[in-house]
Structure 1
Amino acid sequence: MLKNIVYAVLLGIGMAACLSQQEEQDETATGATGSSIPPEVPDETAASPDSSLFVIENKQIGKLRIGMPIDEMRAAATAGFRLNDTTLQQEGMPSTAYILRQGNQAKGLLIEQTCDDACKVWRISVLNPKYKTAKGIHVGSTYGELQQAYKIRAVTFEEGRVVAQAPDAGLSFMLDHSSLSSEELSRLNAATAPKNLLIERILVY
């Protein structure tokens, strides 16, 4: 089962990486089809969004839930946030996904869908450090902090990515491994992963 989780995570990382490259080249992302909530002009007098919208839980972030219908997901987008459609490549086929960002911030959430009879939220990638788990873990936290907060079942290096698995919490954490040598990567596991590695992405599934 853990192998299936790892495969699903790695597939999501590859798709999200493609999106990150798109964002760097063009902030509006080529192929985006518009926004359900138009971008707002920053207003220092405007009330800050409810902090509960930035809480990462098991299968949920704020009002967004894994398995919720896409129409319901669109309706859950709160004023002050913008939701854009984009297209990712999934196993060589185009797949619609959604980028949710607060105001004019560059990074937010990447929401992927699965469609059988109806389209539903499949998984969510967290790219913005403002989103935190109930235990305070966020993009930018260290692997050492992650180990103290959650039971890490495995740390793997596959397809150029380092992933720390916490399946009991329904979360996976992508770690920045740019400081590691090839030798260190070859013997990487939950025990040997350096505690100072930073989390660069959180996956909710």
Structure 2
Amino acid sequence: MRKFLSLFSCWLLLSGSISQAPPAAFPDVPTITETSVGKARIGMPIAKLKETYQGFSFTPTYLAKYGFDGSNGKPDAITVSSAGQKLFIYFLSEQTKKVSGFIVLHPTYKTAAGIHVGSTSGQLKAAVPAVRVAPHEFVENMQIASAGTEEHIGLEYIFQRGPMGKDRDSIEPSEIATPSAKVSWVLIKPN
């Protein structure tokens, strides 16, 4: 009976009676740099961003969910989504009203070193040996990993489960000691 069901299933698939649609193509350029995610760039005017992502959903959101200080109880960022999948969040400079940073949410976006949302802390340490991790200043159990300096922060990799550093009680950056934590999101924000 199993053999019959197996053969019958194969016949249905091959005959087209059961169609398996290919997965939808990713709707953006799948890259992360220190100044961009996909086709979106820091300094981009909002009109240009909305034109670039025409047909995508733009939903107000709160940066406080992502470790930023809250602002007057009003949404202070926008989530960009496609086909119900959250891609990234952008936020604005108060002075220029242009894009000033991103929170990358979708795992298809990757850095040149191959790091993405869902990468492990061990993969991050192997790809970026200079990376250090420190607890978030305000949010308990949130860790921030970066290979940058105070003058040039670079990309920040956020982990929602902590602690991960060698000295678990220190607020100073340390080497990653927990290799299996997963990147929750990537922060792109100039100094």
> Which TM-score band applies after superposition, normalised by the shorter structure?
0.5 to 0.7
Which residue does the alignment assign to 2:186?
A: 202
1:42-71, CA deviations, whole angstroms, 9 ceiling, x for partnerless residues?
Answer: xx57962466x2211121111100111111
Deviation at 1:187, TM superposition (A): 4.0
Structure with the largest fraction of helix: 1
CA distance in 2, matches of 1:128, 1:187: 31
Q: TM-score, normalised by structure 2?
A: 0.68
Q: TM-score, normalised by structure 1?
A: 0.64
Structure with higher Rg: it is 2
Structure 1 gaps, min length 5: 1-43
Deviation at 1:108, TM superposition (A): 2.1
Which letter does structure 1 place at the counterpart of 2:58? L
* CA RMSD, Structure 1 to Structure 2 (Å): 2.9
Which residue does the alignment assign to 1:9?
A: none
CA distance in 2, matches of 1:201, 1:143: 12
Which residue does the alignment assign to 1:109?
A: 88
Q: Tell me if the contact between 2:61 and 2:79 (Cα under 8 Å) persists in the aligned partners.
A: yes
Structure with the largest fraction of strand: 1
Structure 2 gaps, min length 5: 1-20
Which letter does structure 1 place at the counterpart of 2:48? E
1:98 aligns with 2:78: yes
Alignment identity in percent? 28
1:127 aligns with 2:89: no
CA distance in 2, matches of 1:184, 1:135: 26
Which residue does the alignment assign to 2:127?
A: 149
List aligned pairs for 1:1-205, cutoff 5 A.
Answer: 44=21, 48-49=25-26, 53-79=29-55, 81-86=56-61, 90-93=69-72, 94=74, 96-105=76-85, 107-116=86-95, 118-157=96-135, 158-159=137-138, 160=140, 161-167=142-148, 170-178=154-162, 180=163, 185-187=168-170, 189-205=173-189
Which letter does structure 2 place at the counterpart of 1:99? T
Q: Stretches of 4+ moved more than 6 A in 1?
A: none
CA distance in 1, matches of 2:25, 2:88: 18
